[in-house]
Structure formats: C-alpha cells, structure tokens
Structure 1
C-alpha cells in the first residue's frame, strides 16, 4: 500500500513543476493565462490568484470541457479541449501536492504543457505576491 506522500512523489517524478517566480513572470506576460486552482471551493473563495479558475481536484477532469477557453472557441467541444491541451496550463493548490497529482492526470489525458506550481499558494503568499479575496 502506498501513502499519499508516495503518490505525490511518484507524480512529481513524471511532471513538470514551476516556481512561483516562474508563474508570476508568466502571468505578467500573458493577458489571458491558463491557470487552474485545484483547491476546494471554500479554500479558493478565501483568497486566490486573480487569473485563476477554480476546478477542485476531485472534479477537474470532468470540468475541463467547461473551461472558458473551450467554451469561447466556438469549436466542437472535443476539438476545443484538444486545443486547450496543447497550450501551457498551470495548476496550483495549497502546497503543490494536489496540483502535482492533477498534472499527472492531465498528462494521461493528453495535455502536453501542464505545469504544477511548486509550493502552491503557501509559497505564493509567503512571497507576498498578489491575491484576490
């Protein structure tokens, strides 16, 4: 039997992580970034990065077809989802564990540029980076 920590470590071995500094630089350069906060809704409502969309980890894979980038594309939802899968997509959670598991799952779905934010919102807040309440 594996522990949650072991599952996270295995996920981190096969995904790409970015630092909060890399995420902040990306957000500053992209007016419509693809950032998904995979924390629970109550956590997200307390404070989050303003560009983030909230799809909790437990429903992430099912909700991706509802992402604004998919809905706004005007394409068949499956085609739009494939287009989304080819774009850089950043995932953040509280500490970087749930986002790592989510990144691994999205890679299995075919996402090729998915990044988990190391340290998550804890690191973002510790660096005094901007949040929205």
Structure 2
C-alpha cells in the first residue's frame, strides 16, 4: 500500500499563495509543450520520463507535490519515487486541469 497522499489543488494554491512552498517542492511531470501552454510559476518541470535520471536533483528533505495534467502520471511518479525511498509525497488531485479551473483558465 502506498504512503503518498492525494492533495487537493485548492490546498496547493493556498500554500503557494502564502509562500509556504519553494519551487523545487512542486514538480510538474508533464511534457514541455504542456508546460508552455499553462503552468504554475512556483514549480519546476521534470517530465515523467526524466524522473529516473533526475533523482539526484530531487530533494527529499521537504514535502513534494507532484502534478500532471489530470493526476494519472503524477500518481505513477509518486509510486516510483516512493519505491526509490522518497517520503512525504503528495499527488495533486485533478492535476493542472483542476488548478487551471480554480484560477478561471480553461485547460482542456
């Protein structure tokens, strides 16, 4: 059973607005063209297929919030990171589509 948690997009936006998260804590695992279309300023882009090669750059000393378009790829990345020994992982429910909707942007 996985230890990572689902995390509501409203809660992520609140933490970002309050300045409680650093950009490297919010990892967007979509592709470059998806990122170019719409992304959170306070996040970093690490496409899903680059995660295995990026482990040395992903810090595990703070909670991590993983986001994709709808929450499927980010759940897979949470599973993978957990298998690699990462803890305090959060999958952003509904992904960027949900975040965009909350911010009045039609994502898809």
TM-score (norm 1): 0.70
Which runs of no fewer than 5 residues in structure 2 stay unpaired? none
| CA RMSD, 1 decimal | 1.8
The answer as to 2:97 corresponding to 1:122 is yes
TM-score (norm 2): 0.84
Which runs of no fewer than 5 residues in structure 1 stay unpaired? 1-12, 68-83
Q: How many residues align?
A: 102
* Residues in 2 aligned to 1:62 and 1:54: alpha-carbon distance in whole angstroms: 13
Secondary structure in 2 aligned to 1:58?
A: helix
Assess, with a 3 A threshold, how the Cα gap between structure 1 residues 64 and 88 changes in structure 2: closer, same or farther: same
Flag the structure with higher helix content: 1
- Aligned with 1:30 (options 12, 20, 23): 20
2:64: which partner in 1? 89
